[in-house]
Amino acid sequence: MADLERRDAIPILYTRGTHYTVGFDVGRTFASIIHSFLEKSNTLNETYIPLFNTEKGRKIYVDTYENVNRSFPQYIRELQGIADGAKVDFYKVITSRLFLLHIDDVICGAQDGNNQPIGCSTICVNEPDCVVLGHTEDALSEVLNHFYFVSAHIISETPEGKHKVVEERFTSLCYAGHLPGYTMNANHHGLVFSINTLSAKTLVGGKTPRHFITRALLAAENFVQAQEILRDHGVGAADGCSINMTFLRQEGDRLFHNAEMGPATNGNESQLNILTASPGEHIIHVNSYQRLPVPEVSGLIIESSVERMNTFAKFPPPKTLDDVVRMLSDMTAKEHKVFRDHGKNQKVKTICVGIIDCIKRTWTLYAENPAYVPPLVVLPLVLKD
């Protein structure tokens, strides 16, 4: 299948139902995009599936599945719905290739991690007249044109999972075949957040993959609940990521938080460090641990993070929306640019840029470099009455 050039297109699905039926609607609606991605994903086909076929990989897969199914059976049903709706064949046992995508590099084993220059850049500005979260969604180039919006309303008859959730309503940018929650997101409680992948050197099979923790975060009603979800008491994270977040409905001063989450290497709880930005402050985060003392992989993802942070350091502290757009669209770095779109053979591309405006309560998305093109869509952020 020939590669598509970058498309000015981001499809969106509005859906309501149970976890399974919402997943089924996602799979049915975006089946062609999901199948195309599964075919093109070198990481899945050349790394994860061969590792699954080893004794060690199979054990990591089974142990992880069983723990996730105990903690979040509703998200397993949601993933099952995606697979059924898209008519994705089951891969060997238990569930489909889609679950392998959610295990991610944990399938590689305990002393390994992602050495691709993947990741994202996030800037949060907390000024009186500018309260924004800006984010570049960077991914392996195979993800380009393989993503979509899901706007879902899920109501359960009984409390679901370890956090006893009854209702979820959210909008999330999703990679094809993936659960919502791991890119840019907003829920009806006013939580908005973005994710930066972090690559700990030690990953822990049998724990909760970050994709499921951030999926659970879509149900958080307040910051206390968000921290509880990230800590994942009783199990803990298998890997790590950075979460940039705020709540649109917040008593007192506006606060932004950056949470660095690390794998539960010495217990049954995620490692967590939280930085808060008060009015007049800002947060910039990329794809390396800035505060949590977690050993990381070496190589491209760290080199990319260092170069992007060096680029940001050349700018004055961001104060306005224009500052954020200017920084996130920058292409001046020699190798690891902030906005990545240079050459067909490039391993990583910026697939889109999002700006969440907490004052206007809008989410603006650009499918190309925002320095040169108008936004593709501006979505309202609708809160629960």
Phi then psi dihedrals of residue 242, to 5 deg: -110, 135
Angle, CA 268 vertex, CA 264 and CA 271 arms, to 5° = 40
pLDDT at 351: 83
Give the residue among 301, 236, 289 at the shortest CA–CA distance from 259: 289
Listed in sequence order, the residues at least 6 apart from 35 whose beta carbon sits closer than 8 Å to its beta carbon are: 86, 88
pLDDT score at 55 = 92
- Please report whether residue 64 resides in a domain: no
Residue 92 pLDDT: 41
Q: Residue 303 falls within a domain, yes or no?
A: yes
Residue 365 contacts residue 379 (beta carbons within 8 Å): yes
What is the rounded end-to-end Cα distance, in angstroms, of the chain? Answer: 46
| Average pLDDT for runs of 10 along the chain of length 385 | 72 97 97 91 88 91 95 96 86 66 86 61 97 91 83 96 97 95 97 96 95 98 97 97 95 94 96 98 97 92 93 98 98 92 72 95 95 94 91
- Which residues is 134 bridged to in the sheet? 123, 355
C-alpha to C-alpha distance for 24 and 77, rounded to whole angstroms: 10
Question: Tokens 């992007």 identify what position?
Answer: 308
- 374 within a domain of the structure (yes/no): yes
pLDDT recorded at residue 74: 98
In a domain, 137, yes or no: yes
Among the listed residues 195, 213, 215, 194, the one whose alpha carbon sits nearest the alpha carbon of residue 204: 213
Q: Count the neighbouring beta carbons within 10 Å of the beta carbon of residue 316.
A: 7
Q: How many domains does the chain have?
A: 1
- List Cβ neighbours of 24 (8 Å cut-off, separation of 6 or more): 81, 82, 84, 85
In 178-323, DSSP assigns E strands to 184-187, 191-198, 240-247, 256-262, 271-277, 281-285
Is residue 84, in this structure, part of any structural domain at all?
A: no
**What domain range is 117 assigned to?**
112-380
Amino acid at 326: R
Name residue, tokens 């009984």.
Answer: 158
Helical residues (DSSP H) of 72-203, grouped into ranges? 73-86, 97-103
Sheet hosting strand 377-380, strand order edge to edge: 281-285, 121-127, 130-140, 348-357, 362-366, 377-380
Q: What is the DSSP string of 165-193?
A: EEEEEEEEEEETTPPTTSSEEEETTSEEE
Torsion of CA 108, 211, 36, 121, to 10 degrees: -100
How many Cβ atoms sit within 10 Å of the Cβ of residue 126? 23
Does residue 275 form part of some domain?
A: yes
Q: Would you state the structure tokens that stand for residue 228, as one six-digit string?
A: 């509880």
* Tokens standing for residue 275: 């930085």
- Tell me, what's the pLDDT at 94? 47
- Gap between the Cα atoms of 143 and 176, Å rounded: 8
Domain harbouring 166, CATH code: 3.60.60.10
Cα R_g (the chain), whole angstroms: 19
- Assigned domain for 232 exists: yes
In a domain, 87, yes or no: no
